[in-house]
Chains A and B, each alone.
Chain A
Amino acid sequence: MANKPDRKKRYSLMVRFRHNKVAFVSLIILILIFIVTIFAPVFTSYSPTSGTLSQRLQAPSFTAPSEGASPHYLGTDQQGRDVLSRLIYGARVSLKVGFVVAIVGALIGITVGMLAGYFGGWTDMIIMRLVDIQASSPTLLIALTFVMVLGPGERNLIIALLINSWTLFCRMARSQVLIIRGSAMVESGHAIGAGNKRIVFRHIMPNIISPLITTFVMELAHFINAEANLSFLGFGVQPPTSSWGLMIGEGRQYITNAWWIVLFPGIMIGITVLCLNLVGNWVREEFDPLAVKR
């Protein structure tokens, strides 16, 4: 009810972006990256995995290498593969690993965290001790142990990263639930006789969602970075598949005479992670339900 005259639309997204152009531009860039990645074949005619050896280590240029072919705008790599094409297809791997890990981590972490926060007592204590232990343990090395035992590859990389993906969501969800659960809002829900279900789904959930979105965006950035690190060391996707981290790892021997192989994937990682961080910061500032509204 009470929805009819909607004179003052509070959640109008454009209005919210009005004061933060940087965040707006970041979001546009991220959307562009996603579109290009999804429709990769539209944007490049070269194969990301096979190249022409005669065309190896070509510098970026706007002239076509042969009749009818498109230019190697960002040059070619040590095997004569188009860097732009590898960059676009490589984004698929980087983003896929980032998203899968962040989504699964969020699902597990938020569920467990909400349970801990809502039930308290034993459930809370056991879960939080687990989180504490995890926080004090060398998670990166444990992930690497997984990779060693299972062998490198995209699937195993995702499994390895998943070990550490849930704790932050868990802490976040729990603390948010605890804050909201102790709030006057929930107390008033009890006072008017609203049931637990109504309180959880109508009042608690909508109010903890935006800090969790922030966490999700930040963690997405974190895992894209982590994937790049591990792929760089050769523990991620295996050649000839392309990924941003792997491109840098493979190209670094040629850095003295072919800087472009290393430069562009690094810029891509940087831009993606930077934009995610900016958008995450903005979500935190703008949608925080606990911050006092002007």
Chain B
Amino acid sequence: MDNTPQSILSVKDLSTSFFLRDGEVKAVDGISFHINKGEVLALVGESGSGKTVTALSILRLIVWPPGKTISGSVVLDGQNLFELPMSEMRNVRGSGIAMILQEPMSSLNPSMTIGAQIMEAVEINQGLKGQEAKQKAIEMLNVVRIPSPEKRFYNYPHELSGGMKQRIMIAIALSCQPKVLIADEPTCSLDVTIQAQVLDLMKQLRKEIDMTIMFITSDLGIVAEMADRVAIMYAGQLIEITDVFTLFENPAHPYTKGIVGSIHDMKRGGALNIIPGDPPNLMHLPSGCKFHPRCEHRQEICKTQEPAYTNLAGDGAHWIRCHFPLGRQQEAEKGDQHDGNG
């Protein structure tokens, strides 16, 4: 049983809603997935699909009002985070799960030196104090390849470029020595060449220190570079989860096929295949399958009945939320049965 991947973070039936003036918005609607130790799980979806809310819900950082996690459980290394009192939850943040946010410009405190901000993470999560903590912080600057770290230690965030700030964010997250690192679109506001540098750094760090990463992104190119497994979100639900190679070669959900296809089309030239219609409006979600108004394969049942989250392959590796998975009619039925029996 040595080679069996060991789940370190598992999320079950997580739902988070925002209660706004005009009604309830189900930002995350009953999602379940797990991350194995040492792997990179990419959480992919368009804006508003609930990726960031998922991350914040896991860390219990949804602010009420207006947001609230309604149901679900998050188990980190055998510990159910949703049952912890807030004071203990604080200890989980950082040393249990650390997070890199998407906007490096605003994610650092403008009135504190970057050194102090890294030191803070070191002091809280590694228990070091004073000079020792400072040494550690400088070491972390070295780890993320910041030149002349002793000098940079005393810089304020506004004195650094966007790419540098994102490196600092990575340094802060790593200083927490987390079991799981959540990276929320860490490169989406950076220029392409800087994005390449940051991704390269993350790849190298992953090799150096065996990190478990949940990588949130909307760019399938980054998924292809980084991910081991991929979870696709649509309108607050997980609609497909599988390993990265299957996802690119043989996606089962029509939506996944649509977004993967657009990359290939781009290379071929000629007209691009499109997913017709508009992204869902969370205020007015369709009945049945959330994707059915844009789906070319929809049938009557899709409009009325919400598909269950079913295991496609039978070995627990490929899950999908669709009545008619592409090119897998038989297996899907088997999966359904399996699900029904269990």
Note whether A and B contact each other (Cβ less than 8 A): yes
Residues of chain A at the chain B interface (Cβ within 8 Å): 19, 294
Q: Which residues of A contact B22 (CB under 8 A)?
A: 294
Give bound CA distance, A294 to B21, whole Å: 10
Tell me which residues across on chain A come within 8 A of B20, comparing CB atoms.
Answer: 294
Can you spell out 4 A-B residue pairs with CB atoms less than 8 angstroms apart? A19-B21, A294-B20, A294-B21, A294-B22
Distance of A19 Cα from B22 Cα, bound (Å): 10
Kindly list chain B residues whose C-beta atoms are within 8 Å of the C-beta of A294: 20-22
Q: Please provide the 4 A-B residue pairs with the shortest distance between their CB atoms, ordered closest to farther.
A: A19-B21, A294-B21, A294-B22, A294-B20
Minimum CB distance partner of B21 in chain A: A19
- Give Cα A294–Cα B22 distance, bound, in whole angstroms: 10
Tell me, rounded to whole Å, the shortest Cβ–Cβ distance linking B22 to chain A. Answer: 7
Q: How far is the CA of A294 from the CA of B20 in the complex (A)?
A: 10
Complex Cα spacing A139 to B21, Å: 44
Q: How far is the CA of A265 from the CA of B38 in the complex (A)?
A: 73
The docked-state distance in angstroms from the alpha carbon of A248 to that of B22 is: 47
A294 to B66, alpha carbons, bound, how many Å? 14
* Measured CA separation A294–B25 after assembly (Å): 13
- For B21, what are the chain A residues with a Cβ–Cβ distance below 8 Å? 19, 294
Kindly state the separation between the CA atoms of A19 and B20 in the bound complex, as whole angstroms. Answer: 12
Closest residue to A19 on the B side, CB-wise?
Answer: B21
Residues 285-301 of B, flagged 1 when their CB comes within 8 A of A and 0 if not, give: 00000000000000000
Return A24 CB to nearest CB of chain B, in Å.
16
Which residue on chain A has the smallest CB distance to residue B20?
A: A294
Q: Which residue of A lies closest to B22 (CB)?
A: A294
Chain B residues lying within 8 Å of A19, measured Cβ to Cβ, are 21
Task: Quote the shortest CB–CB distance from A12 to chain B (angstroms).
Answer: 15
Closest chain A CB from B67 CB (angstroms): 15
What residue of chain A has the Cβ atom nearest to residue B283's Cβ?
A294
Q: Which residue of B lies closest to A18 (CB)?
A: B21
Closest chain-B Cβ to A288's Cβ sits at a distance in Å of 16
**A19 vs B21: C-alpha distance when bound (angstroms):** 8
- Residues 1-34 of B, flagged 1 when their CB comes within 8 A of A and 0 if not, give 0000000000000000000111000000000000
A214 to B326, CA, bound (A): 57
> C-beta contact mask, B264-275 vs A, less than 8 Å → 1, else 0?
000000000000
- State how many angstroms separate the Cβ of B332 from the closest Cβ of chain A: 39
- State the Cβ distance, A240 to closest chain B Cβ, in Å: 52
Q: In chain B between 170 and 220, which residues have their CB closer than 8 angstroms to a CB of chain A?
A: none
Minimal beta-carbon separation of B266 from chain A (angstroms): 27
Distance (Å) between the CB of A17 and the closest chain B CB?
A: 13
- For the complex formed, measure the closest distance between the CB of B20 and the CB atoms of chain A, giving whole angstroms: 8
**B131–chain A nearest beta-carbon distance, Å:** 47
